[in-house]
A and B are shown apart, each in its own frame.
Chain A
Amino acid sequence: MTQQTTTTTQRQMTGAEIFVRSLIEENVEIVFGYPGGAVIGIYDALHDISDIKHILTRHEQGAVHAAEGYAKASGRPGVALVTSGPGATNTVTGIADAYMDSIPIVVFTGQVALKLIGNDAFQEADIVGITRPITKHSYLVRDVNELAATIKEAFYVATTGRPGPVLVDLPKDVMATKTIFNYPKSVKLRSYQPHVEGNQKQLDKAVALIAKAKRPVLYVGGGVILSNAAEELKKFAHKTKIPVTTTLHGLGAFPETDELSLGMLGMHGTWYSNTAVNYCDLLIAVGARFDDRVTGKTDAFAPEAKKIHIDVDPSNISKNVKVDVPIVGDVKKVLQQLLPLVSALDTRDWIQTIKNWKEEHPLRYNNGKYIRMQHVIQKISELTKGKAVMVSDVGQHQMWMAQFYQYLYPRTHLTSGGLGTMGFSLPASMGAAFARKDFPIVSISGDGGFQMNIQELATIREYNVPVKIIILNNGYLGMVRQWQELFWRKRYSHVEMLSPDYVKVAEAYGIPGFRATVTSDVDDVIKQLFETDGPALAEFKVVKEDNVYPMIPAGQTYHEIIDIPNEKSEPIEGEEQTDLEMVTFSKG
């Protein structure tokens, strides 16, 4: 590492003070953490610091998800600080989640003193070893003189190239040792130089393919949001007149009111986006990684298409699907390079075909006397008009939140996509609330996931975090139940679940709670929820058995797609046939 100019103080400081000063140098405004024996010195150094806000979560997993939520909503690195041993091992799920979804976070873990490492000391865990396969990189700081430079490097690695989690393990004695504080202003690693610009030859090949395309589709992933390239994408799509479908993580990268928008593709994507991908003759993947939830059976994915793949991570190229023209580089930069080279295509027929598909196969559901999750989400979409940060958990509601909310802006859709971590929404929404004050923050969970990090209600109360908490309670692990219904002969093995009284739970934590049990309550409860200052919780008792469609079953092809039944479903107990109404919803 080369150090150019540095911030230096002649005074001797402990490692703990250097740690805090380094965070200030990195402009860290907030740390989510939990103290303990190995980090007590660091917490002592944090005590008098007003430049950094420390949020005491109620579980270390909550701290890491909050750091993720902060990073996803703001685009700045999230920071978590925990103690050694169990504090460190509790961060594992959050770190794995950030790794799968390429979220820039830096996790600082306490460690036992150097001379005790390996001795099975109290609260000792080899956290660097445990997290090695789920971090972008990790460090054990063995010398206080390397501390400042290591922190600088950790933030640099986490935020550049394909972002990801970096872990820094801090032995207790190192943090008590004194040295001169010397913070490098820049960092250059000879072994790590992320690609930024696309190769000109590859760009030329891509431009030639684009010029020939008759039925092109842009397949847009989270990379567009991570590299802040939504503007460039919009210009590119409008200039070339190429329709856009996004992945789960790409939601928000392209406004879903745009005529060119196809909504989400993949296992639970719209019928028309999957159809367009199946018949397209050119697929341009932008910051997307051909995940199995998108492709299904890989050799039948976009079978007629030439494929261009723009990605910052070379190892994503031709990993799952062989592509014709790979372009390695930062998505924003590559789109900027491509923009002047492309011209308008005549895609009028193609867009008209897609428009017909949209009319024939819109997203739809049967509304009735009892509440459907789709209805609640659609109502929030109508109320907030894209101006909210929507944070989902994992399961059926996650897919419906992707389908029935109309996304307009980047960084307004937060979810655990890669790892699929139940319990993500509540702490992540808390982190997002510290990052964004302009939009309301809406956390949606099922009854299963909500109970996995329910303890963070206390954190939300303590810091008066203005999160609008929604529980869509169907008394089931709904997505598992759906698979059991469709693929396991309706043998509902251990998916039915008892919930506490969530309104009382909210009240016990000092948070106003509301409940809706029939569809006619929904508007009022949403209104109360959004009109309450600060945090508020609403439980919607929804119909127990409902399925997410369209669906391409795992590992299958477009031709096995199960579309939403076009006829009215059977009324459930307590409903009349006349209560049912088919509601349609279209993207773009």
Chain B
Amino acid sequence: MSETTEQSIGQSARKHTISLLLENKFGALNRVAGMFSAKGYNLDSITVGPTEDASLSRMTIVTKGDDAIIEQIIKQLNKLIDTLKVVDLTYDSFMERELALIKIGTTSENRPEIMQVVEIFRAKIIDISHKTLTVEATGSGQKVDAIIKMLKPFHIKEIARTGRVALKREFVGEV
């Protein structure tokens, strides 16, 4: 899910990844997304899913803004009654992944070339027909952007992306 900016973005604006832990209650996603649109904040992506504790949901939000806006976003997220914890991962070391499904129109001539690209990116082919091939790509947002860029010259029919999920790293160094 991607929403374009309603608020002008200043020079000092940068991308932030915010992780949010909230009560798994009716309408919780709505409250968060609604707050962003009501306040005119930028929302690049938002993902939500259950956690190890069934009563909680984890949301990962990618947004843009200068320091003052990000400070307000974090305060406004904290202000929501169902919010337990808000962490701006941007200044920490964190792991992030995004998944994309890319359906490409193929011919018997270009199929090997596509498969090469898929292999280089360590992506997977998960569906194939006479005229199409569907690729599952996982990785950082940048990696997913890159594979899409490499597949662009072929005929991309449809793309579905999940948006970013992220967790803080527990130790820094070789993983």
Contacts and interface: CB of A to CB of B under 8 A. Distances in A.
Interface of A: 128-129, 132-133, 136-137, 140, 142, 157, 189-192, 313-315, 317-319, 322
Given A140-B26, A190-B84, A318-B68, A133 B38 contact: yes
Interface string B128-158: 0000000000000000000000000000000
Interface string B48-88: 00000000000000000000100110011011011110000
A374 to B, nearest CB: 38
A95 B149 CA distance: 49
8 contacts: A129-B30, A132-B31, A132-B34, A133-B35, A136-B81, A191-B81, A313-B79, A315-B76
Contacts of B72: 315, 319
Given A132-B30, A132-B31, A191-B23, A314 B81 contact: no
Contact of B27 (A128, A136, A191): A128
A191 B76 contact: no
A315 B82 contact: no
A133 B34 contact: yes
B26 to A, nearest CB: 6
B22 interface: yes
Contact of A191 (B34, B35, B38, B82): B82
A318 B76 CA distance: 13
Interface of B: 22-23, 26-27, 30-31, 34-35, 38, 68, 71-72, 75-76, 78-79, 81-84
> A interface, by DSSP: helix, strand, loop or mixed?
mixed
Contacts of A136: 81
A318 B22 CA distance: 25
Contacts of B31: 132
A137 B84 CA distance: 15
A120 B23 CA distance: 29
Contacts of A322: 68
Contacts of B22: 191
Given A140-B26, A319-B72, A314 B34 contact: no
Name, among A315, A318, A322, the residue most crowded by chain B CB atoms within 10 Å (CB to CB): A315
A137 B30 contact: no
B153 to A, nearest CB: 44
Contacts of A137: 81
A159 to B, nearest CB: 13
Contacts of A189: 81
Name, among A157, A189, A192, A318, the residue most crowded by chain B CB atoms within 10 Å (CB to CB): A192
A254 to B, nearest CB: 28
B52 to A, nearest CB: 16
B30 to A, nearest CB: 7
B79 to A, nearest CB: 5
A101 to B, nearest CB: 17
A142 B84 contact: no
A132 B84 contact: no
A140 B71 CA distance: 31
Contacts of B38: 133
A132 B27 contact: yes
Given A132-B31, A191-B23, A314 B82 contact: no
A133 B34 CA distance: 7
A314 B78 contact: yes
Nearest to B38: A133
Contact of A192 (B26, B75, B81): B81
Contacts of B35: 133
Contacts of A314: 75, 78-79
A291 B119 CA distance: 58
A322 B75 CA distance: 15
Q: 4 closest A-B pairs (Cβ-Cβ)?
A: A315-B75, A137-B81, A133-B38, A191-B84
A1 B10 CA distance: 42
A319 B30 CA distance: 23
Nearest to A166: B81
B35 to A, nearest CB: 8
Nearest to B35: A133
Contacts of A190: 84
Contact of B79 (A133, A140, A315, A318): A315
Contacts of B68: 318, 322
A189 B71 CA distance: 24
Contacts of A192: 81
Given A128-B27, A142-B26, A192-B81, 5 more contacts: A133-B35, A189-B81, A313-B79, A318-B71, A322-B68
B51 to A, nearest CB: 14
A142 B27 CA distance: 13
A324 B101 CA distance: 49
A269 B136 CA distance: 63
A517 B83 CA distance: 57
A251 B62 CA distance: 43
B77 to A, nearest CB: 9
B20 to A, nearest CB: 11
A136 B80 CA distance: 8
Contacts of B30: 129, 132
Nearest to B71: A318
Contacts of A128: 27
A190 B22 CA distance: 10
A142 B68 CA distance: 39
